[in-house]
Amino acid sequence: MIQITETEISLDEMIKRARSKDAGAMVTFLGTVRDDGMERMEVEAFREAALMELEAIQEEAMSRFHLIAAEVVHRTGTLAVGENILAIVCSAAHREEAFSGCRYIIEELKKRAPVWKKELGEKCERWVGQTSSP
């Protein structure tokens, strides 16, 4: 299941959906808001395009790494330090495939999914990943 949501990510539900009697390994990645001296983070997505891209990435990971299930949920909106931005869960027969599939999804997501993050501090704000203006 692929989801972009304004509400809290339920890792439990994702793991429940990915669990299978044929799986010997499940690997989960959680991206969390790290305290870089800011107070909160705003996450914005080009929702329709991001869903399409995430679905394509999921399909690639499933077939390349023989995954049994791959779940991706990306949060949008205003997040506090420590909160989950993103969760990926991959299940496979063996751990090699589950690790590789999970890694593939996060790397491709970062390259391809139209999503942006802004760090908001008391006095300043900064779009993540932009070295120069705007």
Partner 1 sequence: MVLAFASFREILGKERVLHLKESATVKDLLDDLAAARPPFKEAAFDDTGALRDYVLLMVNRKRIDPTLDLSRPLQEGDELAVFPPLAGG
DSSP state of 21: T
The binder of 133, among partner 1, a copy of itself, none, by C-beta within 5 to 8 A per type, is partner 1
Give residues 54-73 in contact with partner 1 (rule: CB under 8 A).
none
CB atoms under 10 Å from CB of 75, counted, come to 24
Strands 77-80 and 40-45: antiparallel
Rule CB under 8 A: is residue 118 a binding residue for partner 1? Answer: yes
Q: How far is the CB of 82 from a copy of itself (least distance, A)?
A: 5
Restricting to residues 95-114, which ones interact with a copy of itself according to CB under 8 A? 95, 98-99, 102-103, 106
Distances (CA, A) of 8 to 21, 84, 85: 28, 8, 9
3's contact among a copy of itself, partner 1, none, with CB below 5 to 8 A by partner kind, is: none
Listed residue (24, 36, 43, 30) closest to 84, CA to CA: 30
Q: Which of 31, 72, 75, 104 binds a copy of itself (CB under 8 A)?
A: 31
Q: Which two tokens stand for residue 108?
A: 């491709």
Helices (H) and strands (E) in the chain, counts: 3, 8
Residues near a copy of itself (CB under 8 A) are 11-12, 15, 19-35, 81-82, 91, 93, 95, 98-99, 102-103, 106
Residues near partner 1 (CB under 8 A) are 31, 43-46, 48-50, 52, 74, 85-86, 106, 109-118, 127-130, 132-134
